[in-house]
């Protein structure tokens, strides 16, 4: 059980599967919040969520403007060249104003608090990646079975 006798959460495991700014930040904010509350936290990156921890991609993550109902714009407007870059720069300005760090810095910060960071082995294999493709904060490349073992007793959150 991931709760103590007072009903408080003791451990969370967060799965990150989306490679957009709005897909990655919720997981980072939740993991950071958990650590600040003294809750154990594990981040498991899979599929396009790997972009958040791939060294050459993590600084280039953008807002998804096409087919994103949260943008509240028609798909054809989101497809205009430069729209994703514009939306990304606007969102980054807003996050900076709120003192929310860039992905690389946020990953480092969360890892430094003791959170575990894992990459999904099946996805790593499917995308022909290697351990050296990832930022240094990635603890291990693990299978889904290993993720479940490490998450025993945790609340599992899929972002």
Alpha helices in the chain (DSSP H): 21-36, 75-78, 83-97, 103-112, 121-126, 144-150
CA distance 7 to 84: 42
What's residue 6's pLDDT? 73
Is 21 among the domain residues?
Answer: yes
35: left (phi over 0), alpha (psi -120 to 50) or beta: alpha
Residue from 151, 158, 146 nearest 2 by CA: 151
pTM: 0.91
What's residue 78's pLDDT? 85
Is 136 among the domain residues?
Answer: yes
What's residue 4's pLDDT? 52
Is 34 among the domain residues?
Answer: yes
Domain of 118, CATH number, reads 3.40.1260.10
Is 3 among the domain residues?
Answer: no
Is 79 among the domain residues?
Answer: no
Domain region containing 136: 11-61+103-158
What's residue 1's pLDDT? 44
Residue 83: count other Cβ atoms within 10 Å of its Cβ. 16
pLDDT in tens, 124-155: 999 999 999 999 999 999 999 999 999 999 99
Q: Look at the chain and report how many structural domains it folds into.
A: 1
Low-confidence stretches of the chain (pLDDT beneath 70):
1-5
Is 98 among the domain residues?
Answer: no
SS3 category, 135: coil
Q: What is the DSSP letter of 119?
A: E
What's residue 132's pLDDT? 98
């Amino acid at each position: 059980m991931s709760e103590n006798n007072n009903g408080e959460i003791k451990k969370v495991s967060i799965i990150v599967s989306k490679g957009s700014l709005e897909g990655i930040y919720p997981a980072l904010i939740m993991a950071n919040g958990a650590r600040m509350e003294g809750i154990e936290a594990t981040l498991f990156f899979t599929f396009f969520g790997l972009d958040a921890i791939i060294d050459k991609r993590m600084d280039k993550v953008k807002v998804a403007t096409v087919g994103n109902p949260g943008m509240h714009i028609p798909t054809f407007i989101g497809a205009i060249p430069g729209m994703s870059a514009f939306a990304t720069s606007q969102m980054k300005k807003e996050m900076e104003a709120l003192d929310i760090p860039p992905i690389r810095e946020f990953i480092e910060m969360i890892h430094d608090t003791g959170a575990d960071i894992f990459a999904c082995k099946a996805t790593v294999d499917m995308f022909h990646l290697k351990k050296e493709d990832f930022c240094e904060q990635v603890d291990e490349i693990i299978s889904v079975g290993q993720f479940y073992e490490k998450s025993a007793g945790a609340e599992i959150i899929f972002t």
